């Protein structure tokens, strides 16, 4: 029998942080698809708005953007996710919601969105190149 997945010694239950980072990566893929000109139907728009709402709310909670006191600092490898990281994530969520709602995005806003995505990806060590979203072009 072929066994896939993590070894039993490395497996654990998913926590809220895992869900947050999975949603963040999905939002980055959606934003890159928008920037690359992929079509946005009604379902994609709705999913972009819903996902961005969740990511925005969680980045405010986790990053302590309301009271200035982060709940905890995330350590992954050598990088620490500080309040600036969560502010960038919140900004990206707002930009994604604006794009999904059909607000005009000029070249300056698009380049600001792309720069923000690149900075977030660099922090996450997540590659969000165009080859990662080729499957979205069929939708």
Question: Is 71 contained in some domain?
Answer: yes
- Comparing 99 with 132, the larger pLDDT belongs to 99
Q: What's the pLDDT score for residue 13?
A: 82
Domain that holds residue 101: 17-125
Looking at the domain assignment, is residue 131 inside a domain?
no
pLDDT, position 1? 67
Give a yes or no: residue 62 inside a domain: yes
Tell me: the pLDDT tens digits for 33-84? Answer: 999 999 999 999 999 999 999 999 999 888 776 665 555 554 444 345 777 8
DSSP string, 93-130: HHHHHHHHTT----HHHHHHHHHHHHHHHHHHT----G
Number of structural domains found in the chain: 1
Instruction: Decide if 10 is inside a domain.
Output: no
Residue 43 belongs to a domain: yes
Residue 1 lies in a domain: no
| 103 vs 14: which has the higher pLDDT | 103
Contact 49, 100 (CB under 8 A): yes
Read off the pLDDT of each residue in 121-127 and give the average, rounded to a whole number.
75
Q: What is the pLDDT of residue 65?
A: 65
Q: Look up the pTM and report it.
A: 0.76
Q: Residue 138: pLDDT above 50? A: no
């Amino acid at each position: 029998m072929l066994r896939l997945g993590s070894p039993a010694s490395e497996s654990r239950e998913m926590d809220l942080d895992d869900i947050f980072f999975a949603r963040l990566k999905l939002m980055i893929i959606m934003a890159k698809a928008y920037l690359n000109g992929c079509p946005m139907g009604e379902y994609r728009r709705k999913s972009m708005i819903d996902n961005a709402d969740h990511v925005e709310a969680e980045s405010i909670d986790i990053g302590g953007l309301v009271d200035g006191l982060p709940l905890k600092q995330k350590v992954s490898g050598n990088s620490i996710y500080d309040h600036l990281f969560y502010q960038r994530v919140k900004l990206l969520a707002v930009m994604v919601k604006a794009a999904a709602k059909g607000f005009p995005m000029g070249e300056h806003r698009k380049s600001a969105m792309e720069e923000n995505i690149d900075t977030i990806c660099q922090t996450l060590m997540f590659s969000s190149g165009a080859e990662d979203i080729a499957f979205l072009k069929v939708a």
